[in-house]
Structure 1
Amino acid sequence: MMLDLTGRIALVTGSGQGIGRAIAQIFAAQGAKVLLATRSEASGAETLRLIREAGGSAELLTVDLSTRAAANQAVAATLRAFGGLDLLIHNAAVFPMENLRDLRDEILESTLAVNLKSCFWLTQAALPALCQAEHPRIVITSSVTGPRTAIPGLSHYAASKAGVNGFIRAAALELAEHRVTVNGVEPGLIATQAMANLGDSPDLAAGIPLKRLGSPQDIAHAMLFLASEQAGYITGQTLIVDGGALLPENTQFT
Protein backbone atom coordinates (compact mmCIF):
# COMPACT_ATOMS: atom_id res chain seq x y z
CA MET A 1 0.00 0.00 0.00
CA MET A 2 1.50 3.31 -1.11
CA LEU A 3 1.02 6.11 1.37
CA ASP A 4 1.53 8.99 -1.04
CA LEU A 5 1.49 12.55 0.28
CA THR A 6 2.39 14.24 -2.99
CA GLY A 7 1.18 17.82 -3.08
CA ARG A 8 0.00 17.85 0.50
CA ILE A 9 1.18 20.46 2.99
CA ALA A 10 2.21 19.52 6.52
CA LEU A 11 3.05 21.50 9.62
CA VAL A 12 5.23 19.35 11.89
CA THR A 13 6.00 20.75 15.34
CA GLY A 14 8.99 19.58 17.36
CA SER A 15 10.71 18.57 14.14
CA GLY A 16 14.29 19.46 15.07
CA GLN A 17 15.30 16.02 16.31
CA GLY A 18 14.14 12.55 17.30
CA ILE A 19 10.58 11.58 16.46
CA GLY A 20 9.72 14.95 14.94
CA ARG A 21 12.69 14.87 12.57
CA ALA A 22 11.76 11.36 11.47
CA ILE A 23 8.16 12.42 10.83
CA ALA A 24 9.28 15.41 8.77
CA GLN A 25 11.76 13.35 6.75
CA ILE A 26 9.32 10.54 5.99
CA PHE A 27 6.50 12.92 5.09
CA ALA A 28 8.80 14.87 2.77
CA ALA A 29 10.06 11.62 1.21
CA GLN A 30 6.44 10.77 0.41
CA GLY A 31 5.95 14.06 -1.40
CA ALA A 32 4.63 16.43 1.28
CA LYS A 33 5.76 20.03 1.59
CA VAL A 34 6.77 20.42 5.24
CA LEU A 35 6.95 23.42 7.53
CA LEU A 36 9.41 22.57 10.31
CA ALA A 37 8.48 24.26 13.59
CA THR A 38 11.06 23.78 16.33
CA ARG A 39 12.63 25.65 19.26
CA SER A 40 16.25 25.08 18.23
CA GLU A 41 17.43 26.84 15.10
CA ALA A 42 20.51 24.61 14.85
CA SER A 43 18.64 21.30 15.05
CA GLY A 44 15.89 22.62 12.80
CA ALA A 45 18.47 23.68 10.23
CA GLU A 46 19.90 20.15 10.28
CA THR A 47 16.46 18.64 9.62
CA LEU A 48 15.97 21.13 6.82
CA ARG A 49 19.32 20.20 5.29
CA LEU A 50 18.58 16.47 5.43
CA ILE A 51 15.21 16.90 3.74
CA ARG A 52 16.48 19.16 0.99
CA GLU A 53 19.51 17.01 0.28
CA ALA A 54 17.15 14.06 -0.19
CA GLY A 55 15.14 16.07 -2.72
CA GLY A 56 12.27 17.05 -0.43
CA SER A 57 10.55 20.38 0.09
CA ALA A 58 10.65 22.09 3.49
CA GLU A 59 10.89 25.44 5.22
CA LEU A 60 11.99 26.23 8.78
CA LEU A 61 10.40 28.32 11.53
CA THR A 62 12.16 28.67 14.88
CA VAL A 63 9.41 28.96 17.47
CA ASP A 64 8.64 28.01 21.07
CA LEU A 65 5.10 26.61 21.10
CA SER A 66 4.31 27.62 24.67
CA THR A 67 1.92 30.44 23.74
CA ARG A 68 -1.12 30.95 21.54
CA ALA A 69 0.79 33.59 19.59
CA ALA A 70 3.49 31.05 18.73
CA ALA A 71 0.90 28.53 17.53
CA ASN A 72 -0.70 31.20 15.36
CA GLN A 73 2.74 32.08 14.01
CA ALA A 74 3.45 28.44 13.05
CA VAL A 75 0.21 28.11 11.12
CA ALA A 76 0.65 31.50 9.46
CA ALA A 77 4.19 30.56 8.39
CA THR A 78 2.89 27.37 6.79
CA LEU A 79 0.22 29.24 4.83
CA ARG A 80 2.73 31.87 3.79
CA ALA A 81 5.32 29.32 2.64
CA PHE A 82 3.05 26.87 0.82
CA GLY A 83 -0.37 28.46 0.41
CA GLY A 84 -2.41 25.96 2.42
CA LEU A 85 -2.45 23.29 5.11
CA ASP A 86 -3.57 19.66 4.85
CA LEU A 87 -1.79 17.94 7.74
CA LEU A 88 -1.34 19.33 11.25
CA ILE A 89 1.18 17.17 13.11
CA HIS A 90 1.73 18.22 16.72
CA ASN A 91 4.78 16.44 18.07
CA ALA A 92 6.48 19.14 20.17
CA ALA A 93 6.71 18.23 23.84
CA VAL A 94 8.70 18.89 26.98
CA PHE A 95 9.21 16.46 29.86
CA PRO A 96 11.63 17.69 32.51
CA MET A 97 12.00 15.22 35.36
CA GLU A 98 10.76 16.66 38.66
CA ASN A 99 9.17 14.91 41.63
CA LEU A 100 5.58 15.82 42.43
CA ARG A 101 6.35 17.26 45.86
CA ASP A 102 9.00 19.57 44.38
CA LEU A 103 7.18 20.43 41.15
CA ARG A 104 7.56 24.12 40.41
CA ASP A 105 4.77 26.15 38.87
CA GLU A 106 6.91 27.14 35.90
CA ILE A 107 7.65 23.48 35.05
CA LEU A 108 3.99 22.53 35.34
CA GLU A 109 2.85 25.47 33.24
CA SER A 110 5.42 25.00 30.47
CA THR A 111 4.65 21.26 30.23
CA LEU A 112 0.91 21.82 29.98
CA ALA A 113 1.37 24.70 27.55
CA VAL A 114 3.60 22.94 25.03
CA ASN A 115 2.16 19.43 25.31
CA LEU A 116 -1.55 20.08 25.80
CA LYS A 117 -2.59 23.70 25.35
CA SER A 118 -0.84 23.81 21.97
CA CYS A 119 -3.26 21.14 20.75
CA PHE A 120 -6.06 23.67 21.23
CA TRP A 121 -4.16 26.67 19.91
CA LEU A 122 -2.81 24.95 16.80
CA THR A 123 -6.16 23.38 15.95
CA GLN A 124 -8.00 26.67 16.32
CA ALA A 125 -5.47 28.46 14.13
CA ALA A 126 -5.34 25.70 11.51
CA LEU A 127 -9.05 24.91 11.23
CA PRO A 128 -9.97 27.46 8.51
CA ALA A 129 -7.23 26.09 6.24
CA LEU A 130 -7.93 22.45 7.12
CA CYS A 131 -11.58 22.90 6.17
CA GLN A 132 -10.42 23.81 2.66
CA ALA A 133 -8.24 20.68 2.32
CA GLU A 134 -9.33 17.58 0.43
CA HIS A 135 -8.12 15.13 3.10
CA PRO A 136 -7.58 17.16 6.30
CA ARG A 137 -5.78 15.45 9.15
CA ILE A 138 -4.67 16.26 12.68
CA VAL A 139 -2.25 13.76 14.21
CA ILE A 140 -0.73 14.25 17.66
CA THR A 141 2.12 12.50 19.42
CA SER A 142 0.72 11.32 22.74
CA SER A 143 2.44 8.74 24.98
CA VAL A 144 1.77 5.55 26.88
CA THR A 145 2.93 7.52 29.93
CA GLY A 146 -0.16 9.12 31.41
CA PRO A 147 -2.95 7.38 29.50
CA ARG A 148 -1.70 3.87 30.41
CA THR A 149 1.51 3.88 32.48
CA ALA A 150 3.39 6.06 34.95
CA ILE A 151 7.00 7.04 35.61
CA PRO A 152 8.07 8.67 38.90
CA GLY A 153 9.07 12.27 38.34
CA LEU A 154 6.79 12.76 35.35
CA SER A 155 3.37 13.41 36.88
CA HIS A 156 3.11 16.72 34.99
CA TYR A 157 4.02 15.04 31.70
CA ALA A 158 1.63 12.14 32.38
CA ALA A 159 -1.23 14.54 33.07
CA SER A 160 -0.53 16.46 29.88
CA LYS A 161 -0.56 13.30 27.73
CA ALA A 162 -3.71 11.95 29.36
CA GLY A 163 -5.22 15.31 28.47
CA VAL A 164 -3.99 14.96 24.90
CA ASN A 165 -5.92 11.70 24.53
CA GLY A 166 -9.06 13.37 25.84
CA PHE A 167 -8.54 16.21 23.39
CA ILE A 168 -8.16 13.78 20.49
CA ARG A 169 -11.50 12.12 21.19
CA ALA A 170 -13.45 15.33 21.79
CA ALA A 171 -11.89 17.18 18.86
CA ALA A 172 -12.55 14.24 16.55
CA LEU A 173 -16.22 14.35 17.45
CA GLU A 174 -16.51 18.12 16.98
CA LEU A 175 -14.52 18.31 13.76
CA ALA A 176 -16.12 15.34 12.01
CA GLU A 177 -18.67 17.64 10.37
CA HIS A 178 -15.73 19.40 8.70
CA ARG A 179 -14.22 16.06 7.49
CA VAL A 180 -11.16 16.66 9.70
CA THR A 181 -9.93 13.45 11.32
CA VAL A 182 -8.08 13.68 14.64
CA ASN A 183 -5.89 10.81 15.82
CA GLY A 184 -2.76 10.17 17.84
CA VAL A 185 0.17 7.83 18.31
CA GLU A 186 1.22 6.65 21.78
CA PRO A 187 4.95 5.85 21.69
CA GLY A 188 6.48 3.52 24.23
CA LEU A 189 10.24 3.56 24.86
CA ILE A 190 11.83 5.16 21.80
CA ALA A 191 15.57 5.53 21.23
CA THR A 192 15.96 9.31 21.22
CA GLN A 193 18.29 11.75 22.95
CA ALA A 194 15.66 12.29 25.63
CA MET A 195 15.69 8.59 26.55
CA ALA A 196 18.99 9.12 28.38
CA ASN A 197 16.94 10.56 31.26
CA LEU A 198 15.25 7.20 31.87
CA GLY A 199 18.17 4.82 32.15
CA ASP A 200 20.40 2.42 30.23
CA SER A 201 18.98 1.31 26.88
CA PRO A 202 19.83 -2.43 27.18
CA ASP A 203 18.16 -2.61 30.60
CA LEU A 204 15.05 -0.88 29.29
CA ALA A 205 14.90 -3.06 26.18
CA ALA A 206 15.08 -6.25 28.23
CA GLY A 207 11.51 -5.75 29.47
CA ILE A 208 10.04 -5.23 25.99
CA PRO A 209 8.69 -8.36 24.23
CA LEU A 210 10.37 -7.37 20.94
CA LYS A 211 13.63 -6.87 22.91
CA ARG A 212 14.52 -3.50 21.47
CA LEU A 213 13.70 0.14 21.93
CA GLY A 214 11.57 1.67 19.22
CA SER A 215 13.09 3.98 16.63
CA PRO A 216 11.79 7.43 15.71
CA GLN A 217 10.97 5.94 12.31
CA ASP A 218 8.64 3.41 13.96
CA ILE A 219 6.54 6.32 15.22
CA ALA A 220 6.84 8.30 11.99
CA HIS A 221 5.49 5.44 9.90
CA ALA A 222 2.45 5.14 12.18
CA MET A 223 1.95 8.90 11.80
CA LEU A 224 2.27 8.55 8.03
CA PHE A 225 -0.56 6.04 7.91
CA LEU A 226 -2.87 8.17 10.07
CA ALA A 227 -2.10 11.19 7.88
CA SER A 228 -2.74 9.30 4.66
CA GLU A 229 -5.82 9.21 2.45
CA GLN A 230 -6.18 5.53 3.37
CA ALA A 231 -6.91 6.42 7.02
CA GLY A 232 -9.90 8.55 6.13
CA TYR A 233 -12.41 6.51 8.16
CA ILE A 234 -10.33 6.50 11.36
CA THR A 235 -10.86 9.30 13.86
CA GLY A 236 -10.71 9.82 17.61
CA GLN A 237 -8.22 6.97 18.04
CA THR A 238 -4.70 6.52 19.38
CA LEU A 239 -2.32 3.86 18.12
CA ILE A 240 0.07 2.30 20.65
CA VAL A 241 3.55 1.74 19.21
CA ASP A 242 5.58 0.16 22.01
CA GLY A 243 7.00 -3.19 20.88
CA GLY A 244 4.43 -5.01 23.00
CA ALA A 245 5.64 -3.48 26.27
CA LEU A 246 2.11 -3.08 27.65
CA LEU A 247 1.03 -6.64 26.86
CA PRO A 248 2.44 -8.71 29.78
CA GLU A 249 0.44 -8.78 32.99
CA ASN A 250 3.73 -9.26 34.86
CA THR A 251 7.37 -8.81 33.87
CA GLN A 252 7.99 -12.53 34.48
CA PHE A 253 6.21 -13.17 31.17
CA THR A 254 8.73 -11.14 29.12
Structure 2
Amino acid sequence: MKHDVVIVSGAAGGIGRAVAERLARKQTCQLVLCDVDSQGLAGVLESLPGAGHQSFVVDVGCEDSVRGLFDRLESQGLQASALANCFGISPVGENGDRIGLEQTSVDLWNRVFQVNSTGVFLMCQAFLSQRAIRDNNLPARIVNVSSAAAQLGGYRSCPAYIASKAAVIALTKSIARDYAEYGVLANSVCPGLIDTQMFRQGCPSDNVASRVPVGRLGEAEDVAGAIEFLLSPAASYITGASIDVNGGYRMA
Protein backbone atom coordinates (compact mmCIF):
# COMPACT_ATOMS: atom_id res chain seq x y z
CA MET A 1 0.00 0.00 0.00
CA LYS A 2 1.39 3.37 -1.00
CA HIS A 3 0.30 6.37 1.05
CA ASP A 4 0.51 9.62 -0.90
CA VAL A 5 -0.66 11.82 2.01
CA VAL A 6 -0.09 10.91 5.66
CA ILE A 7 -1.40 12.99 8.57
CA VAL A 8 0.68 12.96 11.74
CA SER A 9 -0.96 14.68 14.69
CA GLY A 10 0.99 15.66 17.78
CA ALA A 11 3.94 16.19 15.45
CA ALA A 12 5.67 19.03 17.32
CA GLY A 13 7.61 16.72 19.61
CA GLY A 14 8.09 13.32 21.18
CA ILE A 15 6.65 10.32 19.35
CA GLY A 16 4.85 12.45 16.75
CA ARG A 17 8.07 14.15 15.71
CA ALA A 18 9.89 10.82 15.49
CA VAL A 19 7.14 9.43 13.25
CA ALA A 20 7.29 12.48 10.98
CA GLU A 21 11.08 12.29 10.70
CA ARG A 22 11.05 8.55 10.03
CA LEU A 23 8.41 8.79 7.29
CA ALA A 24 10.07 11.85 5.73
CA ARG A 25 13.36 9.98 5.40
CA LYS A 26 11.60 7.44 3.18
CA GLN A 27 10.54 10.26 0.83
CA THR A 28 7.57 8.21 -0.38
CA CYS A 29 4.71 10.39 0.90
CA GLN A 30 3.61 13.94 1.55
CA LEU A 31 3.26 14.65 5.25
CA VAL A 32 0.59 16.80 6.85
CA LEU A 33 1.72 17.68 10.35
CA CYS A 34 -0.54 19.14 12.99
CA ASP A 35 -0.19 20.19 16.61
CA VAL A 36 -1.32 22.95 18.92
CA ASP A 37 2.32 24.03 19.41
CA SER A 38 2.88 26.34 16.44
CA GLN A 39 6.54 27.07 17.20
CA GLY A 40 7.49 23.43 17.68
CA LEU A 41 5.55 22.45 14.59
CA ALA A 42 7.37 25.00 12.44
CA GLY A 43 10.72 23.69 13.65
CA VAL A 44 9.85 20.10 12.77
CA LEU A 45 8.56 21.05 9.32
CA GLU A 46 11.71 23.01 8.55
CA SER A 47 13.94 20.09 9.51
CA LEU A 48 12.26 17.44 7.35
CA PRO A 49 13.85 16.18 4.15
CA GLY A 50 11.78 16.07 1.00
CA ALA A 51 9.29 18.51 -0.49
CA GLY A 52 5.58 19.13 -0.30
CA HIS A 53 5.15 18.64 3.44
CA GLN A 54 2.73 20.96 5.26
CA SER A 55 1.91 21.88 8.83
CA PHE A 56 -1.28 23.19 10.41
CA VAL A 57 -1.98 24.40 13.93
CA VAL A 58 -4.86 22.24 15.12
CA ASP A 59 -6.57 21.87 18.49
CA VAL A 60 -7.55 18.20 18.32
CA GLY A 61 -10.11 18.62 21.09
CA CYS A 62 -12.04 21.23 19.08
CA GLU A 63 -14.36 19.93 16.36
CA ASP A 64 -14.20 23.13 14.31
CA SER A 65 -10.40 23.10 14.37
CA VAL A 66 -10.22 19.46 13.26
CA ARG A 67 -12.82 19.94 10.53
CA GLY A 68 -10.94 23.01 9.39
CA LEU A 69 -7.83 20.90 8.78
CA PHE A 70 -9.66 18.49 6.50
CA ASP A 71 -11.50 21.30 4.73
CA ARG A 72 -8.15 22.89 3.89
CA LEU A 73 -6.80 19.61 2.57
CA GLU A 74 -9.90 19.10 0.47
CA SER A 75 -9.59 22.61 -0.95
CA GLN A 76 -6.10 21.59 -2.16
CA GLY A 77 -7.44 18.42 -3.73
CA LEU A 78 -5.63 16.24 -1.17
CA GLN A 79 -7.00 13.00 0.25
CA ALA A 80 -5.11 11.46 3.17
CA SER A 81 -4.89 7.67 3.20
CA ALA A 82 -3.08 7.31 6.53
CA LEU A 83 -3.47 8.90 9.95
CA ALA A 84 -1.15 8.59 12.93
CA ASN A 85 -2.52 10.16 16.12
CA CYS A 86 0.46 10.68 18.42
CA PHE A 87 -0.75 13.27 20.92
CA GLY A 88 -1.62 13.15 24.59
CA ILE A 89 -1.41 15.01 27.88
CA SER A 90 -0.62 13.55 31.30
CA PRO A 91 -0.91 16.16 34.07
CA VAL A 92 1.22 15.90 37.19
CA GLY A 93 1.14 17.74 40.48
CA GLU A 94 3.79 19.94 42.05
CA ASN A 95 7.32 18.54 41.85
CA GLY A 96 6.08 15.92 39.41
CA ASP A 97 3.91 14.24 42.04
CA ARG A 98 1.18 11.87 40.86
CA ILE A 99 -2.36 13.24 40.90
CA GLY A 100 -4.52 10.57 42.57
CA LEU A 101 -8.22 9.97 42.10
CA GLU A 102 -9.25 12.00 45.14
CA GLN A 103 -7.19 14.95 43.91
CA THR A 104 -8.67 14.77 40.39
CA SER A 105 -11.16 17.55 39.76
CA VAL A 106 -13.93 17.22 37.22
CA ASP A 107 -12.27 20.01 35.21
CA LEU A 108 -8.98 18.10 35.10
CA TRP A 109 -10.74 14.86 34.15
CA ASN A 110 -12.65 16.56 31.35
CA ARG A 111 -9.56 18.38 30.04
CA VAL A 112 -7.55 15.17 29.78
CA PHE A 113 -10.39 13.31 28.07
CA GLN A 114 -11.01 16.24 25.70
CA VAL A 115 -7.50 15.88 24.31
CA ASN A 116 -6.63 12.21 24.73
CA SER A 117 -9.98 10.60 23.86
CA THR A 118 -12.19 13.18 22.17
CA GLY A 119 -9.22 14.35 20.11
CA VAL A 120 -8.66 10.85 18.72
CA PHE A 121 -12.39 10.49 18.06
CA LEU A 122 -12.58 13.80 16.17
CA MET A 123 -9.46 13.14 14.10
CA CYS A 124 -10.60 9.63 13.16
CA GLN A 125 -14.15 10.77 12.42
CA ALA A 126 -12.99 13.54 10.09
CA PHE A 127 -10.44 11.24 8.43
CA LEU A 128 -13.04 8.54 7.78
CA SER A 129 -15.51 11.11 6.45
CA GLN A 130 -13.28 11.91 3.49
CA ARG A 131 -15.08 11.21 0.22
CA ALA A 132 -12.41 8.89 -1.14
CA ILE A 133 -12.75 6.59 1.87
CA ARG A 134 -16.50 6.91 2.27
CA ASP A 135 -17.49 6.59 -1.37
CA ASN A 136 -14.57 4.94 -3.18
CA ASN A 137 -13.23 2.50 -0.58
CA LEU A 138 -9.78 4.08 -0.58
CA PRO A 139 -7.52 1.65 1.35
CA ALA A 140 -6.54 3.48 4.50
CA ARG A 141 -4.64 3.07 7.76
CA ILE A 142 -5.15 4.53 11.22
CA VAL A 143 -2.67 4.19 14.08
CA ASN A 144 -3.60 5.66 17.46
CA VAL A 145 -1.08 6.00 20.29
CA SER A 146 -2.42 4.67 23.59
CA SER A 147 -0.23 3.67 26.55
CA ALA A 148 0.94 0.71 28.59
CA ALA A 149 -0.60 2.59 31.52
CA ALA A 150 -4.04 1.82 30.05
CA GLN A 151 -3.29 -1.89 30.31
CA LEU A 152 -1.48 -1.90 33.64
CA GLY A 153 -3.64 0.59 35.51
CA GLY A 154 -0.64 2.86 35.50
CA TYR A 155 1.85 3.64 38.22
CA ARG A 156 2.89 7.26 37.94
CA SER A 157 0.14 8.34 35.54
CA CYS A 158 -2.99 10.05 36.83
CA PRO A 159 -6.32 8.16 36.63
CA ALA A 160 -7.65 10.52 33.98
CA TYR A 161 -4.71 9.72 31.69
CA ILE A 162 -5.03 5.99 32.27
CA ALA A 163 -8.77 5.95 31.57
CA SER A 164 -8.52 8.22 28.53
CA LYS A 165 -5.82 6.08 26.94
CA ALA A 166 -7.87 2.93 27.63
CA ALA A 167 -10.69 4.59 25.70
CA VAL A 168 -8.33 4.99 22.74
CA ILE A 169 -7.79 1.22 22.58
CA ALA A 170 -11.53 0.53 22.67
CA LEU A 171 -12.33 3.20 20.06
CA THR A 172 -9.64 1.84 17.75
CA LYS A 173 -11.11 -1.67 17.96
CA SER A 174 -14.56 -0.27 17.17
CA ILE A 175 -13.21 1.51 14.09
CA ALA A 176 -11.34 -1.62 12.99
CA ARG A 177 -14.52 -3.70 13.10
CA ASP A 178 -16.83 -1.12 11.54
CA TYR A 179 -14.57 0.01 8.69
CA ALA A 180 -12.76 -3.16 7.64
CA GLU A 181 -15.23 -3.64 4.79
CA TYR A 182 -14.14 -0.26 3.41
CA GLY A 183 -10.48 -1.24 3.32
CA VAL A 184 -9.57 0.60 6.54
CA LEU A 185 -7.13 -0.99 8.99
CA ALA A 186 -7.01 0.57 12.46
CA ASN A 187 -4.57 -0.32 15.22
CA SER A 188 -3.17 1.18 18.39
CA VAL A 189 0.31 1.15 19.86
CA CYS A 190 0.91 1.09 23.59
CA PRO A 191 4.27 2.62 24.53
CA GLY A 192 5.80 1.80 27.88
CA LEU A 193 8.51 3.88 29.54
CA ILE A 194 9.53 6.14 26.65
CA ASP A 195 12.07 8.90 27.24
CA THR A 196 10.02 11.91 26.16
CA GLN A 197 9.33 15.26 27.78
CA MET A 198 5.95 14.04 29.03
CA PHE A 199 7.59 11.03 30.68
CA ARG A 200 10.35 13.09 32.27
CA GLN A 201 7.95 15.54 33.89
CA GLY A 202 6.44 12.75 35.98
CA CYS A 203 9.46 10.45 36.21
CA PRO A 204 10.24 9.17 39.72
CA SER A 205 13.71 9.68 41.12
CA ASP A 206 14.64 5.99 41.25
CA ASN A 207 16.14 4.07 38.34
CA VAL A 208 13.02 3.16 36.41
CA ALA A 209 15.03 1.66 33.56
CA SER A 210 15.92 -1.22 35.89
CA ARG A 211 12.28 -2.32 35.78
CA VAL A 212 12.43 -2.86 32.02
CA PRO A 213 13.61 -6.36 30.99
CA VAL A 214 15.68 -5.04 28.05
CA GLY A 215 17.48 -2.76 30.52
CA ARG A 216 16.77 0.69 29.10
CA LEU A 217 14.10 3.30 28.60
CA GLY A 218 12.46 3.35 25.20
CA GLU A 219 13.11 6.10 22.67
CA ALA A 220 10.48 7.85 20.59
CA GLU A 221 12.14 6.25 17.57
CA ASP A 222 11.24 2.80 18.94
CA VAL A 223 7.56 3.68 18.85
CA ALA A 224 7.90 5.37 15.47
CA GLY A 225 9.26 2.10 14.08
CA ALA A 226 6.15 0.22 15.19
CA ILE A 227 3.89 2.89 13.70
CA GLU A 228 5.78 2.80 10.40
CA PHE A 229 5.31 -0.98 10.32
CA LEU A 230 1.56 -0.68 10.89
CA LEU A 231 1.37 1.78 7.98
CA SER A 232 3.34 -0.55 5.71
CA PRO A 233 2.24 -3.33 3.33
CA ALA A 234 3.72 -5.85 5.78
CA ALA A 235 0.83 -5.12 8.18
CA SER A 236 -1.94 -5.69 5.64
CA TYR A 237 -3.58 -8.42 7.76
CA ILE A 238 -3.42 -6.62 11.09
CA THR A 239 -6.37 -4.61 12.38
CA GLY A 240 -7.92 -4.04 15.79
CA ALA A 241 -4.60 -4.88 17.45
CA SER A 242 -2.84 -3.16 20.33
CA ILE A 243 0.89 -3.41 19.77
CA ASP A 244 3.05 -3.24 22.91
CA VAL A 245 6.25 -1.20 22.57
CA ASN A 246 7.66 -1.42 26.07
CA GLY A 247 10.86 -3.50 26.20
CA GLY A 248 9.02 -6.24 28.08
CA TYR A 249 7.77 -3.89 30.82
CA ARG A 250 4.28 -5.30 30.32
CA MET A 251 3.76 -8.74 28.83
CA ALA A 252 0.25 -9.86 27.88
User: TM (normalized to structure 2)?
Assistant: 0.89
Deviation at 1:169, TM superposition (A): 1.0
Q: Aligned partner of 1:17: which letter?
A: G
CA RMSD of aligned residues (A): 2.1
Gaps of 5+ in 1: 249-254
Sort the Cα spacing of 1:192 and 1:152 in 2 relative to 1 into closer, same or farther, 3 A.
closer
Contact 1:29-1:56 within 8 A present in 2 as well: no
Q: Secondary structure at the match of 1:213?
A: coil
Per the TM alignment, residue 153 of structure 1 is displaced from its structure 2 partner at its CA by 5.1
Name the SS of the counterpart of 1:147 in structure 2: helix
Total equivalences in the alignment: 242
Give the C-alpha shift of residue 23 in structure 1: 0.7
Give the unaligned 5+ runs of structure 2: 93-98
What is the deviation of 1:82? 6.1
Which has the larger displacement, 107-116 or 97-106?
97-106
User: SS in structure 2 opposite 1:146?
Assistant: helix
Q: What residue number does 1:93 align with?
A: 88
Q: Quote how far apart the aligned CAs of 1:241 are.
A: 0.3
For residues 119-148 of structure 1, give each alpha carbon's deviation from its aligned partner in whole angstroms, at most 9, with x where no partner exists. 221222111336146430011001011223
Structure 1 residue 204 displacement after superposition:
1.2
**Aligned twin of 1:181:** 185
Which residue number in structure 2 is paired with residue 252 of structure 1? none
* Residue 56 of structure 1, CA deviation: 4.6
The change in CA–CA distance for 1:242 and 1:232 in structure 2 (over 3 A counts) is same
1:94 deviates by: 1.0
For the pair 1:29 / 2:25, whether they are aligned, the reply is: yes
Distance 1:153 1:206 in 2: 18
Partner of 2:96: none
Q: Which of the residues 222, 225, 228 maps onto 1:221?
A: 225
Counterpart secondary structure, 1:182 = strand
Q: Contact 1:8/1:33 (CA < 8 Å) preserved in 2?
A: yes
Aligned to 1:208: 212
Cα displacement (A) at 1:26: 1.1
Cα offset, 1:199, TM superposition: 2.4
Partner of 1:115: 116
Checking the alignment, whether the CA contact within 8 Å between 2:117 and 2:165 is kept in structure 1 is yes
Question: Residue 104 of structure 1: CA displacement?
Answer: 2.0
Structure 1 partner of 2:8: 12
SS at match of 2:243: strand
